[in-house]
Structures are given as C-alpha cells and as structure tokens.
Amino acid sequence: MRPLISVLAAALLAACAVGPDHVRPSMAVPQSFEGTAAPDATTATASAANATVAPAVADTAFWQAFADPQLNALVDDTLVANHDLRIALARYDRANALLRGTRFDQLPTLDASGTAANNRASADQAPGVPRDARDTDSFDIGIGASWELDLFGRVRRSVEAGRAEVAASADDLRAVQVAIVGDVATAYLDLRGLQERLRVATENAGNQQHTLALVDARREAGQDSDFDSARASAQAASTASRIPVLEAEIAVATHRIAVLTGRTPDALRAQLTLARALPAVPRSIDPGTPADVLRARPDVSAAEHRLHAATARVGVATADLFPRLTLGGLIGGQAGDIDALFGRDSETRFVALGIDWSFLDIGRVRARIAAADADASMELARYQQTVLRALEDTGNALVRFDRAFDADVELDRAARDSARAAQLARLRFDAGGTSLLEVLDAERSQLQAEDAFAAGRTRTATEAVALYRALAGGWPQILPARETAGMR
C-alpha cells in the first residue's frame, strides 16, 4: 500500500492540465475617439482589460448629473426591484451554485451504507436442518470513498471554465443594470419632454382659439367671411387634436417607468402626472480613451470570460485522450450478530485503483476536441465583434450627443423668432394691416417650431443617456432583493 501511495503522490505532483491556457486577446484600439483629444497621434495595441478607467465616467452615477431628485429615487427603486435584474441575479446565483458543485469534483466523494438482513434458506438448500435453524441474520456497515486523480487536469479545467462562467454572469448582471437604468432615465426624460410638448400644444391651442373667436366676431360684424372662419376653426381643431395624443404618450411613459421600477403600471400615476421641467443636460461628457471604455463595458468583459470558459473546455475534452484514474476505498464491518458488528474480527476494507481510458474510442474523443476548438474560435470572434461594436456604439453616441446641442441652438432661435412673428402678425391683423392667412401661417409655424424645440431638448437629454450607457461607468454595487419561490 505504501508504495502505491508514494507513486500516486509523485504522479499528482507532476500532474499538468492539458489543453491551451487562456490568453487575453489583444486588439488594435485607437488612442482616442474621433473629435476628442488624444494623448498622442499614434495608434497602439491595447488590451481592454489592461486599460485604466476614466474617473469622470466610472466613479459617478450618471443619472445624478441631471440633478433631478425624482429621477434619482426612481433609479434607486429600479436597482432593487426590477424583475429583469432579479432574473439576471438568479442566473448569477445559478452559475455560482454550479461552480460549487464542480469544485467538489476535486475532493473525494464519500458515502455511507448499512444493511440489516434476515435470510431463511429452503429445505433443499439446507437438507436435514430444522426450519428454525435455517434462519440467519447478517449486519454490515461501511464508509466508502472514491477520488478521481486529476493527473491531466480534466477537473481543474472544468473548475476553470466554471469560474469564467460565473464571472461572465456577473458581467451580464451589470450589463442588465446598464440597460435597465438607461431605460428608466430615458423613459423619465421622454416623459418630461412630452409634458413640455403638451404645454406647448395647449398654449398654442389657446392662442388659436383666441384668433378663432376674433375672426368669428369680425365675421358677425361683416368684416370677415365664412371661409376665414372655417380656416381658423380647422387650424385650431388640428392643434387641439395633438393634446389627447400627447396625453396618451405621457400615460404610456408613466406605465413604462412604473413597470421598470417593479410596480404595476398605474402605481406612479399620481407621482409623475404633475408636470416638471426637463432636467438640465451636462454640456460635455468626457468619454476617456477607447481603452477606458472597453474596460468599463460589461459586455466586453463578459465576452472575454466566455472565451476563457470555452478555452478551458478544450482542455476538458483533451483530457479524454489520457487515462482517467480513480482511487476507491471502503472500510466497514460485517457480522452475523449486531453486537459483534464493531468487533475486531468483523472489520472489512477494500482499496482499488481504477483506470478508465477511451483510447479505443479515439474518433469520438477527437470529434469532441474539434467541437470544443470550434466553440473557442466562435467565442474569440464574438469577443472581437463585441469590442468593435462597443467602439462603434460609443463613437456614434458621442457624435449624436455633440451635434444635438448644435441643433438645439438653432431650434431655440427658430422657436423664439416664430413666437415673435406670430405676435406681430396678430397685432397687424388687429390693426387691419395683414390678412388672416398670414396670422394662421405664423401661428402654425410657431407651434411647429416650439414643438420641435421641446422635442429637440428631449432628444439631447436622451442622447446624453445613450452616451452614458455606451460608457457604462458609475454603477453602484446595488443588487435586487433575492426572493425564493414557494415550493408546494
């Protein structure tokens, strides 16, 4: 026995894990995003996971940049109660549980058993023995153990793959946080923008009703025709028709926010119906470098961890080319009388070294290895694609956010000028210096310009959210509550 133990100990010390080791992929990443200042003019090869995170992005909860307490409260509620987050958390917990199970494969498997039996032999089996003497009792008890000697790393590679899957699940959870909080912020800003557009439509509808009343009064005085009255009435009705549509969109946005925060659709109606101004939007957002963004993005990190897991599974498959050794043992007792079960002479033991080798099925083993290699190649391509899409996503968000402010400047000027033009047209019409057609045209332009400005400001705010989502920084360590389903 001692020589066997010595040989096994030496083999374990010399054991290695077959299959390729994971190497973090390296991709050529630009030094800066288009339109932002670069540390230098060269383009370097950088690893996403080795990049430093831009403090302006990573250390601040982005929604706080809007300085809106109600938005902050909604996000806090979402992070602890959103059901998509609870689903992602359950997947993370599941991956952790599976990893714990895989780790137990590195340890001996223990089991205990015991039997108490009474056996009666037939008269043919025991000829000449009296009936009562043909009864026999037997008792046995034992503790067994089996242990796979992981000489070629099959179990270690399985544990390695499990750890990578857990890390990927953690990144998936963070990615859902990014998406869900971004959805809440976008829905909230859309809501405030819709309320502003509703205010614009209501005010313009009031102005046009005033113009219609004036035209009707002039028609009754013989100064205007039925045609003028019909045109003014049509425009006022067209503007009024915007109001119920906007009210419906406001209700839909309110329902969306409530569900995202884990409530029923009508739960926030009273809280959100009161109109508030659209929050101020930060004029500039520092994205950091592309390498900073790649490190912060959970989808990139998750893709790398899944590549790691796929690489480790190549080792799991490769280990089947080599023999699998299992050490088994049993110690216990067996006796015909329970009082003697634990006596010295009742001791039993068994030690064995088993070998399981699939060399006769080498074709299937190599097919599984080829499939594992293909999976690793697929995950590598997926990682590279995720990196490129992350850079594209961030670059697009930067451009849209920057140009949105330029558009807002022009929309603001158009809204102010159109309001002034409509005011002057009404004054000239009252003085008889212009036609009703010019008044109606000016009022229509005012409505369109003011509505476009309100929609533009909303778009700028949501583009800011889209940029923050692309940067994926500033996420607090807040998890939803874990709830266990009742079992019946």
Question: Quick one: CA dihedral 235, 236, 237, 240, positive or negative?
Answer: positive
For the ranges 22-31, 57-66, 285-294, 328-337, the lowest mean pLDDT is seen at 57-66
Q: Hey, which of 27-31, 118-122, 218-222, 314-318 has the most confident mean pLDDT?
A: 314-318
Task: Give the mean pLDDT of 316-334.
Answer: 88
* Contact in structure between 53 and 288 (CB atoms under 8 Å): yes
**Residue 211 confidence (pLDDT) above 80:** yes
**Residue 52 confidence (pLDDT) above 80:** no
pLDDT band of 55, cuts 50, 70, 90: very low
3-state class (DSSP) for residue 326 = strand
Q: Which residues contact 24 (CB under 8 A, 6 or more apart)?
A: 47, 49, 50, 304
Q: Does residue 336 or residue 192 have the better pLDDT?
A: 192
Enter the pTM of the model: 0.83
For the ranges 20-34, 195-209, 399-413, the lowest mean pLDDT is seen at 20-34
**Residue 53 confidence (pLDDT) above 50:** no
Residues 99-117: tens digit of each pLDDT: 998 888 888 888 888 888 8
- Using only C-alpha atoms, the chain has a radius of gyration, in whole angstroms, of 37
Residues 171-209: tens digit of each pLDDT: 999 999 999 999 999 999 999 999 999 999 999 999 888
Classify strands 109-120 and 135-149 as parallel, antiparallel or unpaired: antiparallel
pLDDT band of 39, cuts 50, 70, 90: very low
Q: How far apart are CA 468 and CA 65, in angstroms?
A: 10
- The position carrying tokens 């030690």 is 351
Q: Which residues contact 96 (CB under 8 A, 6 or more apart)?
A: 166, 169
Exposed/middle/buried for residue 301 (C-beta within 10 Å: 0-12, 13-18, 19+): buried
3-state class (DSSP) for residue 59 = coil
Q: Which residues contact 208 (CB under 8 A, 6 or more apart)?
A: 232, 235, 236, 239, 443
Nearest CA among 407, 352, 333 for reference residue 114:
333
* Contact in structure between 297 and 469 (CB atoms under 8 Å): no
